[in-house]
Amino acid sequence: MSSASRIVSSEAEELILVDADDDETGHLSKAACHDGNGVLHRAFSIFLFNDAGELLLQQRAMSKRLWPEYWSNSCCSHPRRGESMETATRRRLSDELNADAMLEFVYKFRYQANFGELGSEHELCHVYLGRLRNDVNANDEEIADVRFIAAQDVAAELSQQPDRYTPWFKLEWEALTEEYGDTLSVYSSA
């Protein structure tokens, strides 16, 4: 799958804490942000499509603290302290997928999801769509596997095997298809 293997994140990196309006309120380590029920912090999710209109899915690495080996959207992470969303999204596309894409911001939303006793996500998440400009070379420290799927097949997979997918991916895909279908169709069409 990949020839790329490098450590690109740590539990000690400082994330941006926000309020419900996405105004910055402070900073906290990634580990502390995900402990217990989580502390609200800024995040992003990216949905990348190839020229055939297929969505790139990633399977999270086994080493991930939360939702290891679950399938999810193309790329998701957090801006670090002092980092703009534009810088953060470019960094993570490179770090995780060795990929480049022009991104379009679509919407943002707040969610909280617990992963048993191991911690939680509690994020104000910015959602982006984009089209890949190059082949993907996934970093196996971050990603166990990648695959492309036709957009029309995503809903069927989510309904047949919902426990294989991250909670944020399911929420985001539902919003993209139900509320932002016109924007999604620009990327999911060949």
* Per-residue pLDDT at 12: 80
Q: Which residues are catalytic?
A: 76, 123
* Per-residue pLDDT at 1: 42
Let me know: does 95 contact 188? Beta carbons within 8 Å.
no
* Per-residue pLDDT at 7: 60
| Token output for 98 | 């060795």
CA gap 167, 43 in Å, rounded: 14
| Token output for 70 | 């679950």
CA gap 45, 9 in Å, rounded: 16
Q: Which CATH class is domain 14-188?
A: alpha beta
User: Largest alpha-carbon pair distance within the chain?
Assistant: 43
The model's pTM: 0.94
CA gap 110, 122 in Å, rounded: 7
CA distances from 145 to 4, 9, 60, 166 (A): 12, 18, 7, 15
Mean pLDDT by runs of 10 across the 190 residues of the chain is 57 92 97 96 98 97 95 97 96 94 97 94 98 92 95 94 97 97 93
